Structure 1
């Protein structure tokens, strides 16, 4: 069985499947995970008066502190990517944690009850990192990102408190608070699954809100014997997994292998094509092989002139694409020199987006237009 065609296809497909593209245009996202709500104060129990003592209230005078079980968080968002790593979105979220313990009220046989719920809307800004631009060898199918957001969170105490012999302390407070959050995550594009624009995400979020008073009631002997309050915090640590789908992400095109050099003929120009990733001017391993082939042909054939011409697709401005095509041409010329071609034999030109191999509309990312042509004459 001849495995060469299969290996060639794999070499062409995998880089395209794994290539991380910045989010461009509208996207939607969602996530679900675990939420740890840090302990907070329930209310100031105050001094143990004779009235409370007679009613059997066992408060020791400190602040009641509520501890929560591990809960859950869910969120959904809609956003827009600007194609340069920046994204902005609006998020809706929901968190819920059941009460585990109520401490610091000195009651024996305490039975904690209730839950804390919070839900709201946040405006977030994200930045997706492309470490390749910094020369850091992170695989292109890993997209780290960070974010931050502000918004409003509604928080409900659903009968949060504790029963004790002869009475109960509880809070059913509800309020809205200013909220802020910090986010760090990793995205893994699922292009290899045949869905361009679909990304699996895993992230950590810290969500906090401004402190506000939590109204608390104390019952003893069947009566409300005290109403009190304390500044109650709301600090959440969340770990989520989710999916993000970008609607306009282009399907990575599999660049056809460069055409084989024509048979050696006198006075016939030979052309080699070197292709580049979107918005990049660095050479892949395959591109270096093609340049090496061109350099070898230039040394062994009767070549009088070597023309190197850089090109770009139409996904950027004409001015930017002109500079990008110049960078690509210079990189290829330097690689030819590294392979033994005299620099004086090479002429370098840059055409920007003016001479596409495949005509497209403005703004379209066409892989075959991101190229450098090496012509041996």
Structure 2
């Protein structure tokens, strides 16, 4: 009944809860825990009958020595069943996580359980059994080296919960210490006392789950079930069983069989190198592709700076485009051909001024069409930068122009 209740409690505590993605341990960590221990009934064997027989015979009355010799004959041995009551367990461990789910740790453990009763049976001519009430305790302590594997639910099954199931195995060494006194119910004159310590190889299997604690990186609560087995040597000279009866008293050295502990544990684990996950990278800001400058050409009559009807239409188009397309500035550049109204060296200087008057005419028209004056830059280049290359003193209509450039 106790075993079923503890299993149910462990199953309920391992139910997943909603939060962020579970932690995978990388680097050092510490783990402590404790809980309920249920030790299975153990069996003992005692083969020291030559010594028992001599001890009881020597202390028995002369009339009873034959009966004692027959009862404790060398062909007989004792079998005992030791029943355990409720107990508890505790452990502390230091380990290292490799970042891929595998962990290795060194653990120190302590287990305690009360002893509730003993059944004593014997073989031979006077074989039989009797049950006694036991007072005392049984404890074991030692260490393990464990290897565990954390099951990453997100990576393996795409389940995003703050729970990490784990499984593991361990091997080590445990010392068992016994201190008990049993009064046999059918023979109140016979007391059995056991005391002493013996060590042997031990192993364990582990299954459990870790739960991330919100707001504290690396801190987890754990629940787990452990089955601990301890291999007992057949010659346990360090545990002594004392017999105290009407015929006298003597000691023997019983042998315990395999010991099994079922443990249901709640603990806390802290991983030192666990940092909160980095925030997701900010979306890359892609600058808009630079827009090509739009150019409008306005042409003029020879030696003229007045806008024609067609020229005014082109200026209006440029003004309208500047209001629909994001425009940072507007260039208005004036040009002339390489002919001049004034002959001689003063011709180039005259054309430079003529190109600037043409640019000012276009600027004034843009302002009338709603373009702010502050957005317009004016420049005159004269005969420089011809649109169509020509010979000297050539009246080329396409070179008599103003360029409206929207940036």
Normalising by structure 1, we get a TM-score of 0.58
Structure 2 match to 1:156: 177
Please point out which of 270, 274, 296 is paired with 1:249. 274
TM-fit CA distance, 1:141: 1.0
Aligned position for 2:148: 126
1:173 is paired with a residue of what secondary structure?
Answer: strand
Look up the match of 1:114.
136
State the Cα deviation string for residues 274-309 of structure 1 (Å, max 9, x = none).
xxxxxxxxxxxxxxxxxxxxxxxxxxxxxxxxxxxx
SS of 1:20's partner is coil
Which of 161, 170, 175 aligns to 2:198? It is 175
Structure 1 CA distance for aligned equivalents of residues 42 and 181 of structure 2: 11
1:130-149 Cα shifts (integer Å, max 9, x gaps) = 13333x25343110101111
- CA distance 1:160–1:36, shift in 2 (3 Å): farther
User: Which of residues 4, 25, 28 is equivalent to 1:26?
Assistant: 28
Runs of 5+ unmatched residues, structure 1: 1-13, 269-377
| Contact 2:48/2:252 (8 A) holds in 1 | no
C-alpha displacement at 1:159, in angstroms?
Answer: 2.4
Alignment of 1:298-313 (within 5 A): none
**Residue 243 of structure 1: CA displacement?**
0.6
Alignment pair present for 1:204 and 2:225: yes
Q: Which residue of 2 is the match for residue 81 of structure 1?
A: 97
Question: How far did residue 252 of structure 1 move?
Answer: 2.9
Distance of aligned partners of 1:119 and 1:77 in 2 relative to their CA distance in 1, 3 Å threshold = same
Matches within 5 A, 1:3-152: 18-44=20-46, 62-105=78-121, 110-134=132-156, 136-152=157-173
Aligned-pair CA distance for 1:231: 3.6
Does the Cα contact within 8 Å between 1:102 and 1:112 map onto a contact in 2? Answer: yes
CA apart distance, 1:173:
2.6
Q: TM-score, normalised by structure 2?
A: 0.54
For the Cα contact (< 8 Å) 1:211–1:233, is it kept in 2? yes
Could you list the runs of 5+ residues in structure 2 that have no partner in the other structure? 1-16, 122-127, 292-407
Deviation at 1:266, TM superposition (A): 6.3
Per-residue deviation, 1:227: 1.9
> Among residues 220, 224, 239, which one is paired with 2:245 in the alignment?
220
* Larger radius of gyration between Structure 1 and Structure 2: 2
Partner of 1:240: 265
3-state SS of 2:154 partner = helix
Alignment length (residue pairs) = 249
Aligned equivalents of 2:171, 2:108: Cα separation in 1? 12
Say whether the 8 Å CA contact 1:158–1:172 is kept in structure 2.
yes
160 and 209 in structure 1: CA distance in 2 versus 1, 3 angstrom threshold? farther
Structure 1 CA distance for aligned equivalents of residues 37 and 259 of structure 2: 12
